[in-house]
Structure 1
Amino acid sequence: MAAFFINVGVDHFLNPDFYLSIMPPAFPLHSEAVYISGFFEVLGGVCVLIPRLRKIAGWGLVALLVAVYPANIYMAITPEAFPELSISLLYTRLPLQFIFFYWAYSVTQPDYNLAHKKI
């Protein structure tokens, strides 16, 4: 999970144009929001690797995923703005986010460490 969030967060800085394009027009401060969300994705990804910060990082990532969910909705309801992406992919992103919500939530649970030490 850490690698996923770190990679996606870094991508916000390397490819900001994509993230700017998925921002709903009604939302303010597009550039700032892209860089801030990228920063917090990297921070959350790093912090889930640190046992004493894992729980707060998990909750932070859940909050971040909730905050960026409108971008996924915007993509699904305006597929013409994303001709390079299939409509099925745009709709698949919506329920897929709930897997990410659960993934981030799972690290907030007390037994998270125990479950992963057995692997």
Structure 2
Amino acid sequence: MRRPFLAFGREGLSYSPSPRQYATMPLSPDRTAAIARLTLAPLYLLAGIVHLLRPDIFAPLMPPGIPQPHAVILLTGIAEIAGASALFVPRLRAFAGVMLALYALCVYPLNIQHAVRDLSTGTGLGLAYHYIPVSSRSP
């Protein structure tokens, strides 16, 4: 006889189904949200860190009409890091989700421009890089 899997949850230490059984259970809204947070937060955090440490990578992508492009790049990095961090603070979670969604909507045209430039010239990053940012957001 297999022993139940021991888990630590909101209610404290409890028994739950085995990891294999748990993996096949239907997703609850709480579990779906947790998976989304654990997937998106590290991506936004990494993007924010890269914006702060290597703004020179993003400078050529900035449209010519943007004033203070270097400052905008740094601010977007700060916004990504703040949003990723706030996803793990329950009181800020909903606000962070809305702000990150609005942020993604704002940078969507730049993602399209970046993809078109890279894919049409054969230089830069390929389809594997651009497919997710371009296909996963809808304006």
Normalising by structure 2, we get a TM-score of: 0.61
Q: Is the 8 A contact 1:24 1:74 kept in 2?
A: no
* Counterpart in the other structure of 1:96: 136
1:23 equivalent to 2:65? Answer no
1:64 equivalent to 2:117? Answer no
1:85 equivalent to 2:120? Answer no
> How many corresponding residue pairs?
98
Counterparts in 2 of 1:100-119, with a 5 A limit? none
Kindly tell me: are residues 2 and 70 of structure 1, through their superposed partners in 2, closer, same or farther at Cα, counting changes over 3 Å? Answer: same
Task: Report which structure shows greater RCO (CA 8 Å, sep ≥6).
Answer: 1
Kindly tell me: are residues 90 and 77 of structure 1, through their superposed partners in 2, closer, same or farther at Cα, counting changes over 3 Å? Answer: farther
Q: In 1, distance between residues paired with 2:59 and 2:121?
A: 12
Looking at secondary structure, tell me which structure has more strand per residue: 2
* Counterpart in the other structure of 2:32: none
1:5 equivalent to 2:49? Answer no
Unmatched runs of 5 consecutive residues or more in structure 1: 102-119
Q: Is the 8 A contact 2:111 2:134 kept in 1?
A: yes
CA displacement at 1:90 relative to structure 2: 6.4
1:35 equivalent to 2:49? Answer no
Q: In 2, distance between residues paired with 1:35 and 1:82?
A: 28
Q: Percent identity?
A: 28
Normalising by structure 1, we get a TM-score of: 0.70
Kindly tell me: are residues 46 and 32 of structure 1, through their superposed partners in 2, closer, same or farther at Cα, counting changes over 3 Å? Answer: same
Cα displacement string for residues 61-91 of structure 1 (whole angstroms, at most 9, x for unaligned residues): 01111111121121133236771222x3465
* Counterpart in the other structure of 1:54: 93
Q: In 2, distance between residues paired with 1:91 and 1:54?
A: 27
Kindly tell me: are residues 27 and 36 of structure 1, through their superposed partners in 2, closer, same or farther at Cα, counting changes over 3 Å? Answer: same
Q: Is the 8 A contact 2:105 2:137 kept in 1?
A: no
Cα displacement string for residues 85-115 of structure 1 (whole angstroms, at most 9, x for unaligned residues): 22x34652311345xx9xxxxxxxxxxxxxx
